Amino acid sequence: MHYQIDQPDPYCKGRIGLLTTDHAVVETPTFMPVGSLGPVKGLEPDDLQKLGFRLLLNNAYHLFLRPGHKIVAELGGLHAFTGWPGAILTDSGGFQIFSLAKLCEVTDDGVTFQSHIDGSTHFITPEKAIEIEEALGADIIMVLDQCVALPADGHMIQDSVRRTRLWAERCQAARRRTDQALFGIVQGGLNARRTGRLSERVSGIGL
């Protein structure tokens, strides 16, 4: 994977460039259609390409629960499973674990959550998240992160940023595939004094 900056923005410090993956060249910044379970509802892959999209977002949480990452792998990975020829990014599912679960217990080891489908209980570690995303076979995979509901006090936000960094380092260590790019997630909140430095450290860990 290669990223080329074509034009830095002097006003907002944004970057206009090209992200080259094995499946597509993506102009950035970009919007990604979301196919939580793989395909984008109501649109064929050809329709998405005609609209100019080159990068699709799938969700590891939903695919882990149904149909299962091992089944997707047996079918040839997400590209074969969805029929999408472009690039794919998989969210680790960290946000869904916290927003959809009726039962959620978070520790530095990982997350215990209850499925929103059948109530079954699952335990996801950073290492498990990487196992799932590598089996799914996306071009870009995301680290497991802790997303806290806002507003939250500064100590809670600071702890979530610390844990997200810890999990990111474990995700990096657990990687086995070399054909996927692992992206970090910057977590934080509204308290710049408490979270600013930690957020910078998460974004700069060099994944």
Q: Are 24 and 48 in contact (CB under 8 A)?
A: no
Quickly tell me which residue has 């599912």 as its tokens.
Answer: 93
Looking up tokens 């995301």, which residue turns up?
142
| pLDDT tens by residue, 67-99 | 999 999 999 999 999 999 999 999 998 888 788
What ranges do the domains of the chain cover? 2-203
The 3-state DSSP class for residue 87 equals strand
Give the mean model confidence (pLDDT) for residues 109-132: 94
Tokens describing residue 100:
């959809």
User: b/e per residue, 163-176, with b = 16+ CB within 10 A?
Assistant: bbbebbbbbbebee
pTM of the complete model? 0.88
**Residue 204 pLDDT:** 42
Q: Look at residue 197 and tell me whether its pLDDT is greater than 50.
A: no
Least confident of 56-65, 146-155, 176-185: 146-155
Q: What is the pLDDT of residue 203?
A: 42
* Mean pLDDT for the stretch of residues 104-114: 93
What mean pLDDT comes out for the span 24-44? 94
Task: Name residue 25's beta-bridge partners.
Answer: 20
The first and second tokens of residue 61, run together, are 């949480």
Q: Peptide bond before 10: cis, by omega within 30 degrees of 0?
A: no
Q: Which of 87, 56, 74, 182 is nearest to 136 (CA)?
A: 74
| Cβ within 8 Å of residue 196, ≥6 positions away | 188
Q: What is the mean pLDDT of residues 142-148?
A: 93
What is the C-alpha to C-alpha distance for residues 67 and 132, in angstroms, rounded to an integer?
12
**Residue 168, SS3 per DSSP:** helix
CATH 1.20.120.80 corresponds to the domain 2-203: no
Tell me what the pLDDT averaged over the chain comes to.
89
Percent of the chain with pLDDT over 90: 69
**What does the alpha-carbon distance between residue 104 and residue 145 come to, in Å, rounded to a whole number?**
14
**What H or E segment, with its residue span, contains residue 43?**
none
